[in-house]
Every structure is written in C-alpha cells, then in structure tokens.
C-alpha cells in the first residue's frame, strides 16, 4: 500500500500546487511510482504547472462518476518516468465528488502507486473535506505572514479533528535577509506558534516563476535554491534525516559560486 499525502494550507496562493508538483516530480525522479491528484475541482492548475494541459481527456469526476476507468484518466508526465496526473474537472464544481468517492479512489490508487499526492483547494469547505477524505498523511504549506500562519493553524486543527494526526509543515517563500532584519517571522517563530514538525523551508526564488512559465518543475533545476529545498523535502518524506539547508545565500562568495554553477 502506498502513502496518500494531502498538501493543504487553508489560505490560497501560498504554494500548495507548486509544492505538490515539485514533490511529485522529485519522488518520481528517485524512481518511485507517483500519482498526483488535482482535487481543486472547477479551478484546475496542477496540469498547467506540469505542462500537461494539452493532454487531458478525462478527469477526476469522470473516474468517480464511472464514465471512464482510472487508467484512461491518468496522464503520464512527459519529463518524468513514473509520474502520473489525475486532473481536476474544469467545468464541474466541488459537489461533483463525495468524500466516500474520494476515499475509494485514494484506496484504489494506493494499490498501484507508492505515493499518491493530493493537491487540496484553498478554503475549509467541501473541497477541502473531499481532498483530505482519503489521505493518511498531511503536509501543511504556509508562508511567513500573519494571515497564512493563522489559516495554517486552523487547518491543522481541522486535520487533527479528521484523524490526520501530526501534519508536517512546509514554510514557503522564506526570505533570509528579511528575517535577519527582523522584518519577517523566523522559522522558530512559526514553529513555536503552530507546534508542528517542520518538513522543510523553501526560500523565495524567482526561478520558480521561470520554471512555471515553461511548464517545468524547479526541483529539476540543479542550480536553483528552491529546487534544492524541495529535493531535501523529498528525501525527508522518504524518511531520511536531512538537515535544513543554509538559507543565507546573500554573501558575495555565494553569489559568485552560483554564477559559475558551483552553488
């Protein structure tokens, strides 16, 4: 049986879909059989991030509604062997799927894949409840802002109420320089408030935009800092003890290293 991991955040725009895509690509790159589920029905994005938007024939609601078989709806990733996407429907709404159907779908997929990663929609309504229904692990993504951490706290409470214990936290869009200047909450501040285990910290990185533009994942960019952070997270998901990377990259020496490709 594979692991079914839901990536959630409460607040929108903190990087759930980016995180889902990168973890999927990262795990598949290490040779695992991975399926990503876009549970954001009505507003699908994960296909675009992976550059698979032109290949969609069937979607999640077609599978749960019995209009096609799971195999027909799954799209193989073009860059990454072993990675599959089950896209969301763009035309239906969240009521098109029930929690029972999601549970069944996740169970079926966990038979076939080592990792099933679900991209949860923003909010705490039915879309959220559907997305977490079949999961046995949860990753909460936040950014170092008051609103995002507040929503993360709410989500952690709801996950625990739904028996998804010990969610792991990813702090995204972290800016070391601003933390040094005491203009951004630090990792310790956030962990102290939320009282959860830290899975990883992803630095703010313009390269994410560049990769997304091209329908690629930053985790495959060997030289990008956020890519490194995601690669570390992937290895932690696999159970390896990887220390946090050095988030301070503002020094001249580091800049020079990056320019000549030494990191």
Instruction: State the residues that interact with another protein by CB under 8 A.
Output: 145-146, 149-150, 153-154, 157, 179, 181-186, 189, 193
In the bound state with another protein, the residue whose beta carbon lies nearer, of 195 and 252, is 195
In the bound state with another protein, the residue whose beta carbon lies nearer, of 72 and 250, is 250
| Tokens linked to 223 | 């030289």
- For residue 75, the cross-strand partners are 85
In whole angstroms, give the CA distance from residue 235 to residue 228: 11
Q: Give the nearest distance from C-beta 146 to another protein in angstroms.
A: 5
Positive or negative, the CA dihedral 127, 193, 150, 45 is: negative
Reported residue count of the chain is 263
Q: Give the nearest distance from C-beta 250 to another protein in angstroms.
A: 16
In the bound state with another protein, the residue whose beta carbon lies nearer, of 38 and 151, is 151
In the bound state with another protein, the residue whose beta carbon lies nearer, of 204 and 216, is 204
In the bound state with another protein, the residue whose beta carbon lies nearer, of 6 and 155, is 155
In the bound state with another protein, the residue whose beta carbon lies nearer, of 181 and 213, is 181
Distances (CA, A) of 125 to 6, 7, 18, 102, 130: 15, 15, 21, 15, 9
HEC letters along 24-58: HHHHHHCCCCEEEEECCCCCCCHHHHCCCCCCCCC
In whole angstroms, give the CA distance from residue 141 to residue 252: 31
Q: Give the nearest distance from C-beta 120 to another protein in angstroms.
A: 20
Q: Give the nearest distance from C-beta 184 to another protein in angstroms.
A: 6
Q: Give the nearest distance from C-beta 10 to another protein in angstroms.
A: 11
Q: Give the nearest distance from C-beta 176 to another protein in angstroms.
A: 13
In whole angstroms, give the CA distance from residue 194 to residue 154: 10
- Strand 83-86 relative to strand 34-38, pairing: parallel
| Tokens linked to 26 | 């990262």
In whole angstroms, give the CA distance from residue 216 to residue 89: 22
Q: Give the nearest distance from C-beta 142 to another protein in angstroms.
A: 11
In whole angstroms, give the CA distance from residue 255 to residue 225: 12
In the bound state with another protein, the residue whose beta carbon lies nearer, of 68 and 193, is 193
């Amino acid at each position: 049986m594979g692991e079914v991991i839901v990536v959630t955040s409460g607040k929108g725009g903190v990087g759930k879909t980016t995180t889902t895509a990168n973890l999927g690509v990262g795990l598949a790159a290490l040779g695992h059989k991975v399926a990503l589920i876009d549970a954001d029905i009505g507003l699908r994005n994960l296909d675009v991030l992976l550059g698979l938007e032109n290949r969609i024939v069937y979607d999640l609601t077609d599978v749960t509604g019995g209009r096609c078989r799971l195999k027909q709806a799954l799209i193989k990733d073009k860059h990454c062997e072993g990675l599959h996407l089950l896209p969301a429907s763009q035309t239906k709404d969240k009521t098109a799927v029930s929690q029972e159907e999601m549970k069944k779908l996740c169970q079926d997929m966990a038979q076939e894949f080592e990792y099933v990663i679900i991209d949860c929609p923003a909010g705490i309504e039915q879309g959220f409840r559907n997305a977490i229904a079949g999961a046995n692990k949860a990753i909460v993504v936040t950014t170092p802002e008051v609103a995002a951490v507040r929503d993360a706290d709410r989500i952690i409470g709801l996950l625990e109420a739904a028996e998804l214990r010990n969610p792991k936290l990813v702090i995204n869009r972290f800016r070391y320089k601003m933390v040094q200047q005491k203009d951004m909450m630090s990792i310790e501040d956030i962990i102290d408030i939320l009282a959860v285990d830290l899975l990883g910290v992803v630095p703010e990185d313009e390269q994410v935009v560049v990769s997304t533009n091209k329908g690629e994942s930053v985790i495959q960019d060997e030289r990008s800092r956020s890519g490194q952070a995601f690669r570390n997270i992937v290895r932690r998901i696999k159970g390896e003890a990887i220390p946090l990377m050095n988030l301070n990259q503002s020094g001249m020496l580091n800049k020079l290293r990056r320019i000549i490709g030494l990191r």
